[in-house]
Amino acid sequence: MKQIVVAGAGYGGLRAVEKLSKRSDIHITLIDENRYHYMQTEVYGYIAGTKDIDEITIDLESWCEGFGHNVSFEMAKITHIDHEHNRLSTDKGEIAYDTLMIATGAHTRFPTFIEGLRQHAFGVKKLERAFEFRHRFEQCVKQKLEGDNTPIDILVAGAGLSGVEVAAEMAYMLERYRHALGKNVERIRITLIDACDTILPGLDPFLIQSAQKRLQKLGVMVKTGAFIEKVEADRVTFRNGTTQSYTFMIFTGGIAANSGFVPEIFERNQFDQLKVEDDLRLVGADNIYAIGDVAEIVDKRGEPLPPTAQVAEKSAEHAAENIFRQLDGGPTAPFHGEIDGLFIALGGRYGAAELFFLRFKGMSAYYAKRLVTYIYTLGLNLRVNAAYKTRH
Ligand SMILES: Cc1cc2nc3c(=O)[nH]c(=O)nc-3n(C[C@H](O)[C@H](O)[C@H](O)COP(=O)(O)OP(=O)(O)OC[C@H]3O[C@@H](n4cnc5c(N)ncnc54)[C@H](O)[C@@H]3O)c2cc1C
């Protein structure tokens, strides 16, 4: 029986396993360094306290058990690929494969040219960092509840999708806490900073304007064209020499791929994303695919697609189909990925959306995003329930 290994249990990895499991003549091993699947797209709610841990994580062992016999889970950190002998090294030992799909995503990239950034800022790409950040936010609220009236400044550096969502949700929660904290709530201030001249750089003007208006309404201070040069324990210094004090800071300004375990001979771009052929196989490899954030994936015109859960899932599905084609002795097919739309959560029951030719905002956009998340988590939960039923 052919052994297919899926490395990384994020959005792409799970979609790949779903698709691959349709065939009974292969065995699929899913590997992840964590025992849970972490839904990063929902982390804005977790940080602000509107979502709980069970709404952003899924137990991978149970999820894999839900497929029956041809899917298994290994919790291990991958450290190296021996592509000549089709073996992975992990902190728990070696794992052999016939075909490998690399889906290990990305981590927050703290640019080294910003002095002190890594030391002082939180990222949200890992659950433990989001957990610490949530804890800090809760502590601020508690401090204010107890009557402390020193100002607290929360900086969100990076006004892309994740930065905007996190800033908006925290600001919305502060609005809700007004009844509990009174005027003291105004002593917790949120500032969203970006080096670009706009928030949500590269996105549709409708989304940018909707987000700007909403952030303003929620009292978030937005500083664009502000390049952070240095971060110290209690203040940041901008390139123009001005400074801003802060209490704690989150950095959502960029990512780098988790590709350190892939041999150097495989090409990558400046974000460490692996270069792939149009069929999503690594350049120069016959039986190794790379999908999602870890790969540089381009659209029909050759333009890089943004690192999103949507692209991770679509590329995973396509790579799984190509694995089937190879198993059947046929040629692989090129991937023509596109973004169908984008939903942005903008605090509380408010959002903005772009879906094919439609643009809308407000509660409808929020519920549209919720529906997508609901369908996604329902699928995962049904699989876990299937495992519980067979156990008991
Ligand atoms: C706050 C925030 C909001 C976002 N909002 C949206 C949104 O609204 N819509 C959208 O489409 N996208 C959104 N994104 C982006 C989206 O989350 C990512 O693009 C998506 O998670 C990429 O999926 P992936 O499968 O490639 O990798 P990931 O989901 O990052 O999964 C990678 C997996 O690989 C594992 N792994 C890594 N290295 C190793 C190793 N060496 N050994 C073993 N396991 C390893 C990790 O533990 C992880 O489980 C958001 C991201 C953030 C941070």
Residue 221's pLDDT is: 97
Q: How far apart are CA 182 and CA 141, in angstroms?
A: 11
Do 180 and 287 lie in one domain? The reply is no
Sequence-ordered alpha helix ranges (H) in 184-256: 205-217
Counting ligand 1 atoms within 8 A of each CB, the residue from 15, 17, 33, 259 with the most, and so the one to mutate, is 33
Whether residue 181 is contained in a domain is answered as: yes
Residue 50's pLDDT is: 85
Question: Is any ligand 1 atom within 6 A of the Cβ of residue 47?
Answer: no
Tell me the pLDDT tens digit for each residue of 107-117.
999 999 999 99
Tell me the pLDDT tens digit for each residue of 118-166.
999 988 899 998 898 889 889 988 998 998 989 999 999 999 999 999 9
Q: How far apart are CA 58 and CA 47, in angstroms?
A: 18
* pLDDT, mean of residues 88-105: 98
Counting ligand 1 atoms within 8 A of each CB, the residue from 30, 51, 102, 104 with the most, and so the one to mutate, is 104
Paired sense of beta strands 188-193 and 152-157, if any: parallel
Whether residue 57 is contained in a domain is answered as: no
Structural domain that includes position 153:
117-251
Say if CB 165 and CB 173 are below 8 A apart: no
* 9 CA from centroid of ligand 1 (Å): 9
Final residue belonging to a domain, choices 317, 339, 361: 339
* 355 CA from centroid of ligand 1 (Å): 22
Question: Is any ligand 1 atom within 6 A of the Cβ of residue 367?
Answer: no
* Residue of 387, 313, 296 whose CA lies nearest to 68: 387
Whether residue 381 is contained in a domain is answered as: no
Residue 124's pLDDT is: 85
Do 142 and 208 lie in one domain? The reply is yes
**Ligand 1 atom 31: the closest Cα is on which residue?**
10
* pLDDT, mean of residues 368-391: 92
Do 125 and 95 lie in one domain? The reply is no
Q: Residue 391 above 80 pLDDT? A: no
Residue 47: which pLDDT band, with cuts at 50, 70 and 90?
Answer: confident
Counting ligand 1 atoms within 8 A of each CB, the residue from 131, 258, 271 with the most, and so the one to mutate, is 258
Ligand 1: atom nearest CA of 344 is 8
Final residue belonging to a domain, choices 222, 251, 280: 251
Do 220 and 275 lie in one domain? The reply is no
* 139 CA from centroid of ligand 1 (Å): 27
Whether residue 350 is contained in a domain is answered as: no
Write out the two tokens for 133: 């950040």
Provide the 8-state DSSP code for 263. Answer: -
Lookup result for tokens 């879906």: 355
Question: Is any ligand 1 atom within 6 A of the Cβ of residue 13?
Answer: yes
* 241 CA from centroid of ligand 1 (Å): 35
Residue 120's pLDDT is: 95
Q: Which CATH number do you get for residue 178? A: 3.50.50.60
* 10 CA from centroid of ligand 1 (Å): 5
Residue 281: CB atoms within 10 A of its CB come to 21
Do 122 and 235 lie in one domain? The reply is yes
Ligand 1: atom nearest CA of 260 is 41
Do 150 and 134 lie in one domain? The reply is yes
Residue 159's pLDDT is: 97
* Residue of 361, 355, 321, 359 whose CA lies nearest to 338: 355
Tell me the pLDDT tens digit for each residue of 330-359.
999 999 988 888 999 999 999 999 998 899
H/E stretch holding 38 reads strand 36-38
Residue 371's pLDDT is: 95
Whether residue 149 is contained in a domain is answered as: yes
Lookup result for tokens 């809700």: 176
**Ligand 1 atom 8: the closest Cα is on which residue?**
41
Counting ligand 1 atoms within 8 A of each CB, the residue from 5, 6, 11, 97 with the most, and so the one to mutate, is 11
Question: Is any ligand 1 atom within 6 A of the Cβ of residue 332?
Answer: no
* 8 CA from centroid of ligand 1 (Å): 9
Residue 39: which pLDDT band, with cuts at 50, 70 and 90?
Answer: very high
Q: How many domains does the chain have?
A: 2
Tell me the pLDDT tens digit for each residue of 289-318.
999 999 999 988 888 998 999 999 999 999
